[in-house]
Structure 1
């Protein structure tokens, strides 16, 4: 599915082909919720990095999070330095992938048949996850990837 996205001020616009476009996984880790998660979580999609095209790249900046052990994450969180919108995550550990934030996507996204709440062990105390019947909950990262979840649901 071709996704079109942008930051709030429209200085950065991008397109990317996503084989995993259902916004099903809510991540409550401190990095996601503090850099992109106004509701206490962020939703990342899975896309093919080779197809990412960007207009306004001069307005991009990258944040690499400091981890609990004091090291720096290999993940590059791309955001608009003009308005601060979180746009996508790229990690060179998986060079073929890019993970756009669902909140930055302008293309209508499909409604997921199930939601997965991850990193609940790291959620902020004020966050009350909206867990529905059939949702899966994990205190840490699940074994199932974005692509595997899509395949299991035939999407």
Structure 2
């Protein structure tokens, strides 16, 4: 069985739960979107099954941000992925993308359930990391773009996928 993850925003106005087969927080994204909406160091997303996402409290406080891609360039556009956040405290909750309607990606920072500490992390989109951003200590793999394994693929490769 997948594991149940329980999460909330910082102020407690929003509480949610979902089922996940890929709940190890191993991949840090340091792109400009993840740094600016998630904090100076970036964001870590987990995997979950969208049909299991249940907002237990605070649906009225959940708002959506569609990121601006290639900002301030002629190629600027608005992403179709939806970053859900609490309108009271601005805590990021999860990302949903209609290209993968069966999935939802909660921010590890919003999860209250205990999470396994990975032996190694992957740092993604290093090509957009400014010099002042420091990477976490410990064993890591760094990638200018995205790691070769998907979220599911990485968990399966490391024996951490929960059926």
What TM-score range do you get, normalising by the shorter chain? over 0.9
Task: Show the 5 A alignment for 1:23-34.
Answer: 23-34=25-36
Structure 1: distance between partners of 2:110 and 2:35: 15
> Are residues 1:145 and 2:150 paired?
yes
Tell me the equivalent position of 1:53: 54
Pairwise CA distance, 1:129: 1.5
| SS at 2:153 equivalent | helix
Q: Any gaps of 5 or more consecutive residues in structure 2?
A: none
| SS at 2:154 equivalent | helix
| SS at 1:124 equivalent | coil
Say whether the 8 Å CA contact 2:8–2:111 is kept in structure 1. yes
Structure 2: distance between partners of 1:107 and 1:61: 23
Structure 1: distance between partners of 2:34 and 2:81: 11
The partner residue of 1:110 within 95, 112, 116 is 116
Residue by residue over 1:31-82, the C-alpha shift from the partner in whole angstroms, topping out at 9 and shown as x without a partner, is 011111x242110000000100002111010000110021111110000001
TM-score w.r.t. the length of structure 1 is: 0.95
Query: Paired residues, what number?
Result: 153
Pairwise CA distance, 1:152: 0.3
Structure 2: distance between partners of 1:7 and 1:130: 23
Structure 1: distance between partners of 2:66 and 2:84: 9
Tell me the equivalent position of 1:43: 44
| SS at 1:3 equivalent | strand
Pairwise CA distance, 1:113: 2.2
> Are residues 1:94 and 2:100 paired?
yes
Structure 2: distance between partners of 1:3 and 1:146: 16
Give the alignment's Cα RMSD to 1 decimal.
1.1
